[in-house]
Structure 1
Amino acid sequence: MTTGVIARESYYERTGEHTYKPTAHAGGAWQTDEQHFSPLAGLVVHAIERQLAERPGNPTLARISYDILGRLALDECEIAVETVRPGRTIELLEATVVIAGRPVVRARAWLLASLDTSPVADSPHERLPLPEELSPWAMNEAWNGGYVSSIDVRRTTPPRKGRATAWVSSLVDLVADEPSTALASYIALVDTANGIAVQQDPAAWMFPNLDLTIHLHRQPHGPWTGLDTTVTFGPTGQGLTSSVLHDLDGPVGHAVQILTVRPL
């Protein structure tokens, strides 16, 4: 009789030096044959950090802004990372995700030198209730896709329309047989925000985000991503999802997503 460690499942499998194949766990909420942007956002950070690991120094990612340029097909993707503005204390990188020969995501990341500012560290945002204090929410009853089915969500109940507090975690690895940093794994859950504080029934209205911008004043750690989220719809087809981001030690930053709102 033989025993062994059960292999963990993943959102992506590496197929080359810069290429990755999504698994069914990366399936999207609007279309199941598309990628959910949340794990792809984490994969971009994973690719950036792999490149940074080959260089001296220890820069800190303080902001990353993603623009979604096209359909995120559930197909192999290639991620290229280049330096836009080099520097020892401030640096700007750009990552481009290509699927089937077309750029589908461009992300720009500001890196800052790490300094000791702990004597003045402070935030006016209060800590969220701990995950064990909130009720589990079966998010896959409201949303489709492999990604939604892969996560554990604890949400305030009852949520108000367009307003919710939630914790999100996942037992699915970002890349198969490949360690990911706490930052990449944390960011891989942030885009969930647009689905936790539902403003309108997603069976009647479509409101996908076109971008995601994350600002961090502290480097987060897992295994939980905390989202204190507000969703606002405007009168002319635009919407906004904004979140205060938390880990178990308190607030770590903010995330904002612009939405295109239209009836189904």
Structure 2
Amino acid sequence: MTTGEPPAAAFFEPLGDGGFAATPATAGPWSPEFQHAGPVSALLGRAFERHDPGAGGRIGRVTVEILGPVPVAPLRVTTRTVRPGKRVALLEGELTHDDRPVARATAWRIAAAPDGFDPIDNAPQPPPLPESSPAPFAGWAGVNADGYLSAMEWRLVRGSFARPGPGEVWARAKIPLVAGEPDTPLVRTLVLADSASGVGSELDFARWLVINTDLTLALHRDPVGEWLFMSARLQASPGGSALAESTLADPSGQCGRGLQTLLVDTRA
């Protein structure tokens, strides 16, 4: 296990005509063959931002449905407008591998609030960004830290990936989502948002199989800067399932929330 330099210069290489080649940097913590859902979600978010760019507005909410393990392999992304509108529009996107759907998503594009609108902020300020952090994956047996985890920079505030309990972390991507282009605020947030189930998990991964089926990210404003703060926690019940909830912030304050539905089962 290493957590040094990222294994590629970007999460995806563009192939043209909606195609993207996934690099080893997309690989998740469970296997080098399957992607972490962060880059997958961000690729769909990028497509939503580029869909009908003349329509104006901003992406305020994205929900990603993960249809199965997404291979570290070429993907194709398509988008369409489901409900057009000047103030609100509903968009739909799909990721396929060899013509097989691997993820679907919807997004609300919402007109920006007027400039004279007085901001409302009831959220606490995030803690300061630490100057350094101990090894975030120390003690996490069997983890594949040479993909997505090493393509991100992590500075722990509370908890760790290897120790059950709510967690708080500052993080940023070391590489862009797509080679040759800067990341937008939405893309940067989606790259991180799916990590809430790991940052805030209170389940022993060695004992329990934990798989998130979806990710919903809602942003009331676009975050500023590379670093994002995540505070994450998990709720679970026997006979039910689990929910991972997160709040997301930049250095000036909270900007949105995330939610994941999780399958919990015994490991074979």
Report the TM-score when normalising by structure 1: 0.90
| C-alpha contact (below 8 Å) 1:237/1:262 kept by paired residues | no
Identical aligned pairs, as a percentage? 31
Determine the C-alpha separation between the residues in 2 that align with 1:237 and 1:31.
27
Question: Which residue of structure 1 lines up, in the alignment, with residue 188 of structure 2?
Answer: 185
SS in 2 for 1:208: strand
| C-alpha contact (below 8 Å) 1:186/1:221 kept by paired residues | no
Equivalent of 1:90 in 68, 76, 88:
88
Amino acid across the alignment from 1:262: D
Amino acid across the alignment from 2:230: L
SS in 1 for 2:130: helix
Question: Which residue of structure 2 lines up, in the alignment, with residue 175 of structure 1?
Answer: 178
Aligned residues: 255
Moved over 6 A (4+): none
Question: Which residue of structure 2 lines up, in the alignment, with residue 4 of structure 1?
Answer: none
For the aligned residues, what is the CA RMSD?
2.0
Amino acid across the alignment from 1:23: T
Alpha-carbon spacing, 1:118–1:245, altered in 2? closer, same or farther (3 Å): farther
| C-alpha contact (below 8 Å) 1:134/1:156 kept by paired residues | no
- Give the 5 Å matches for 1:1-264: 9-53=9-53, 55=54, 57-116=55-114, 119-132=117-130, 135-139=133-137, 142=140, 143-145=143-145, 146-158=147-159, 161-236=164-239, 238-264=241-267
Q: Unpaired runs of 5+ in structure 1?
A: 1-7
SS in 2 for 1:166: strand
Determine the C-alpha separation between the residues in 1 that align with 2:219 and 2:152.
23
| C-alpha contact (below 8 Å) 1:139/1:149 kept by paired residues | no
| C-alpha contact (below 8 Å) 1:186/1:223 kept by paired residues | no
Determine the C-alpha separation between the residues in 1 that align with 2:75 and 2:235.
32
Cα displacement string for residues 69-114 of structure 1 (whole angstroms, at most 9, x for unaligned residues):
1221111111000000001111000010111221111110001111
Q: Unpaired runs of 5+ in structure 2?
A: 1-7
Alpha-carbon spacing, 1:42–1:136, altered in 2? closer, same or farther (3 Å): farther
Amino acid across the alignment from 2:149: V
Amino acid across the alignment from 2:56: N
Determine the C-alpha separation between the residues in 2 that align with 1:207 and 1:11.
24
Give 1:227 deviation, angstroms: 0.9
Alpha-carbon spacing, 1:140–1:67, altered in 2? closer, same or farther (3 Å): farther
Give 1:67 deviation, angstroms: 0.7
With 151-160 and 196-205 compared, the bigger mean Cα shift is at 151-160
Determine the C-alpha separation between the residues in 2 that align with 1:49 and 1:158.
34
SS in 2 for 1:207: strand
| C-alpha contact (below 8 Å) 1:243/1:254 kept by paired residues | yes
Amino acid across the alignment from 1:156: V
With 241-250 and 138-147 compared, the bigger mean Cα shift is at 138-147
Determine the C-alpha separation between the residues in 1 that align with 2:169 and 2:20.
29
| C-alpha contact (below 8 Å) 1:136/1:152 kept by paired residues | no
| C-alpha contact (below 8 Å) 2:42/2:188 kept by paired residues | yes
Amino acid across the alignment from 1:66: V
Give 1:178 deviation, angstroms: 2.4
